[in-house]
Amino acid sequence: MLQVSRVLAAGHGLAPVLVKRAATVELDWDVRQKSRFDATDSQGRHLGVFLPRGTLVRGGDVLVGEDGSMIRVIAAPQPVLVITHCSEHGTPFDLTRAAYHLGNRHVPIELKPDHLKIEPDHVLADMLRAMHMIVKEENAAFEPEGGAYSSQTTAHGHGHGHGDHDHDGHDHPH
């Protein structure tokens, strides 16, 4: 078993050609939000992944094995609900309203400018349809938001450190 204890967000710092040549592993969201899991990569190697607690692995990240080998993560298609607004009965703002109601229920949500994605839930689907949203079942990659309080718990750091950009023109209380 190849032990993995490091992840590089989106292959940061690696030459694109190296990332392209790397073995791959296809993982759904349920697995990618765990810090410890087993998987098999495209070369048939058994991986034992042991990441720091709270680490989220995203599609496009690169896992680094104890032998230095690299494994590019692919977000596996999985059942999701794709939510869009109904142009006959509402406006695009309805999507914001739907995101608000889902967020109040602490539902993991993938936010896009023209749609939302959530994991299948018939109760939530009925609620959204009652709000005149269009809800379709699909099989697609799922990359929900990391959350406002997740600090640096994702490999991508949807929060940010001060080294990421300067803060001229705006302040943060941290």
pTM above 0.85, yes or no: no
What are the start and end residues of each CATH 3.30.70.790 domain in the chain? 78-140
Q: What is the pLDDT of residues 124-133, one digit of tens each?
A: 999 999 999 9
What is the DSSP secondary structure assignment for residue 37, as one 8-state letter? E
**CATH placement of domain 2-75:** 2.60.260.20
Which is nearest to 83 in space by CA: 74, 94, 69? 94
What is the DSSP secondary structure assignment for residue 9, as one 8-state letter? G
Report, as an integer, the average pLDDT of 36-49: 97
- Is it the case that residue 110 has pLDDT exceeding 90? yes
What are the start and end residues of each CATH 2.60.260.20 domain in the chain? 2-75
Question: Burial letters for 138-157: b for 16+ Cβ neighbours within 10 Å, e otherwise?
Answer: eeebbbbebeeeeeebbbbe
Report, as an integer, the average pLDDT of 76-103: 94
Q: What is the pLDDT of residues 13-22, one digit of tens each?
A: 999 999 999 9
* Dist. CA 26–CA 162, nearest whole Å: 32
**CATH placement of domain 78-140:** 3.30.70.790
pLDDT at res. 151: 41
Tokens of 3: 């032990």
